[in-house]
Amino acid sequence: MKCLCLIVFLAFVITQSYNDLEVEAASSDGFVSRKGVQFILNGEPFYANGFNAYWLMYEATDPNTRYKVTHALENAAGQGLTIARTWGFRDGGYRALQTNLGSYDEQTFQGLDFAIAEAKRVGIKMIIAFVNNFPDFGGKKQYMAWAKDKGQAVTSEDDFYTNALLKQAYMNHVKTVLNRVNTFTKVAYKDEPTIMAWELMNEPQCRADTSGKTLTAWISEMASYVKSLDSKHLLSTGSEGFYGQSTPQRMTSLNPVAANIVGSDFIANHNIDAIDFASVHSYPDTWFPKLDEKSLLDYLRKNLAGHIEDAQNVLKKPLILGEFGKPSNAPGYTQAQRDAVFTTAFDIIYASAQKGGAAAGALFWHLISDDMSNFRDAYSISLSEKSSTITIIGQQSRKMNLIGRKRKSGRKQNLIF
């Protein structure tokens, strides 16, 4: 009898655990939308903590390595992370998605299918970028090479923004991705609520026109095109958030000097109706290699505060810190330094979110799974490797996830971690 009771009890516990998982998954089933400076999910404010994992499609292309995607997403969900940012491109090269203009590899596409399906299963939303500014995974450089093969007289990678064939090629890629029907979920990407948002490009720049007008015009045109095909999903730029000539005082106070020639304009690039939220990336170690740790943290605070202020008061849209981190190969690096960067960024984001402000979340760069030496670098973090940074990540996730619930219930909650 005791044995039977134990079996019945264990069956109840297992069933209850599955029910809890289903409730959690159901809570993330809807489309994320925007109301003013807030994201909305299932009728309540949506605040998030997340990560970058640009490699998801690449590893999922091979069925033998898909377990890495599964483990990474399950570990992320276990830490309360709710957004994964990844690439929806691999232009040319090994395991290419787009093997030539308009030609796609089905096995690689199924890799992206799998990544989306796994994110759906564990309740993680996705932000997916359409192309890269840089030559990694193809990018504008590969498009230019393809254009030359077609007899186009292109001379600069920035012809990507103005050449008619290249603009059409980009739009064709967007259309192909949006209309893709997932082989695992049987849902078209444009109808998939697991996808929170699209990004026009990863870190768009146009050095050929430092005024920012060329890039802003391209963003406006392509954002309207994306929305004409997909009105269900949010859209952003994928920008680093460098200021431009529309706000010269911000260029002086917040831009690294080198950023003043990249042709981007944080305000102009995001002050477009079809762009739903603002994007900013922050890498003080790269931009100011000679600064000491205190000065780097001071800049991080100042830069984030400025962008949040402008998202709140000028753009009147939510803002996501789309990339940030601390490289382990920085001179004199310690774990405490990485902890300080994460704590500083998280505290600024949380302070805004707690007041209903524009800062909606931060996505660290970058998450890897176990057994991934090919993607391990100075920024990579594996959640299965216990560290103080991972504890900080989990705490931020719980705090951000609770904000929406508190606002829905209208009750004051004391958050103790």
What is the full DSSP assignment across 82-136? -EEEEES--BSSTT-SEEETTEE-HHHHHHHHHHHHHHHHHT-EEEEES-BSSST
pLDDT > 70? residue 15: no
Mean local confidence (pLDDT), 5-22? 35
pLDDT tens-digit series, residues 36-47: 999 999 999 999
Mean local confidence (pLDDT), 141-159? 96
Instruction: Report angle CA 190, 193, 195 to the nearest 5 degrees.
Output: 70
* Catalytic site positions: 203, 323
Gap between the Cα atoms of 327 and 302, Å rounded = 20
Instruction: List the domains of the chain with CATH numbers.
Output: 39-409 (3.20.20.80)
Mean local confidence (pLDDT), 289-294? 96
229 Cβ partners below 8 Å, 6+ apart? Answer: 174, 175, 178, 179, 190
pLDDT tens-digit series, residues 310-365: 999 999 999 999 999 999 999 999 999 999 999 999 999 999 999 999 999 999 99
pLDDT tens-digit series, residues 261-276: 999 999 999 999 999 9
Q: How far is CA 298 from CA 100, 140, 345, in A?
A: 45, 34, 11
pLDDT-based confidence at residue 371 (cuts at 50, 70, 90): confident
Predicted pLDDT of residue 408:
54
Mean local confidence (pLDDT), 246-251? 96
pLDDT-based confidence at residue 103 (cuts at 50, 70, 90): very high
> Whose CA is closest to 172, among 132, 229, 115, 116?
229
Predicted pLDDT of residue 35:
96
State CA 192 to chain mean position distance: 17
